[in-house]
Structure 1
Amino acid sequence: MQLTRWNPTRQLGSRTLFPALMDDFFTSMPSRSAAVRDFIPSVDIYEKDEKVFFEAELPGFKKEDLKVDVQGKIITLSGERKEETIEGENRFRKERRYGKFQRSFHLGFEADSDMVEAKYENGILTVIVARPEEEKVKQIQIH
Structure 2
Amino acid sequence: IINEFFHPAVCIDEGTGSVWNPIVDVYENNESIVVKAEVPGVDKKDISVDIDNGVLTVKGERKHEEEVKEDRFYRKERVYGKFQRAFRLPEGTDYDKINADFKDGILTVTVPKVEEKKPKQISIH
Q: TM-score, normalised by structure 1?
A: 0.61
Q: Which residue of 1 aligns with 2:105?
A: 123
Is the CA contact 1:73–1:107 (under 8 Å) kept in the aligned structure 2? yes
Give the alignment of 1:49-64 within 5 angstroms.
49-64=30-45
Q: Any residues of structure 2 matched to 1:1-143 within 5 Å, and which? A: 38-86=19-67, 91-92=72-73, 93-109=75-91, 111-133=93-115, 136=116, 138=118
Q: Unaligned stretches of 5+ in structure 2?
A: 1-17, 121-125
Q: What is the CA–CA distance in structure 2 between the aligned matches of 1:45 and 1:137, rounded to whole Å? A: 25
Q: How well do the aligned residues superpose, as a CA RMSD in angstroms? A: 2.9
Secondary structure in 1 matching 2:60: strand
For structure 1, list consecutive stretches of 5 or more residues without a partner in the other structure: 1-36
Higher relative contact order (CA 8 A, sep 6+): 2
Superposed displacement of residue 38, structure 1: 4.6
TM-score between the two structures when normalised by the length of structure 2: 0.69
Go from structure 1 to structure 2 and tell me whether the alpha carbon gap of 1:98 and 1:88 turns closer, same or farther (over 3 Å shift).
Answer: closer
- Percent of aligned pairs with the same amino acid: 45
| Bigger Rg over Cα | 1
> What amino acid sits opposite 1:67 in the alignment?
S
Structure ranking higher in helix proportion: 1
Q: Give the counterpart letter for 2:76 in structure 1.
A: K
Q: CA deviation at 1:90?
A: 7.3
Instruction: Go from structure 1 to structure 2 and tell me whether the alpha carbon gap of 1:129 and 1:89 turns closer, same or farther (over 3 Å shift).
Output: same
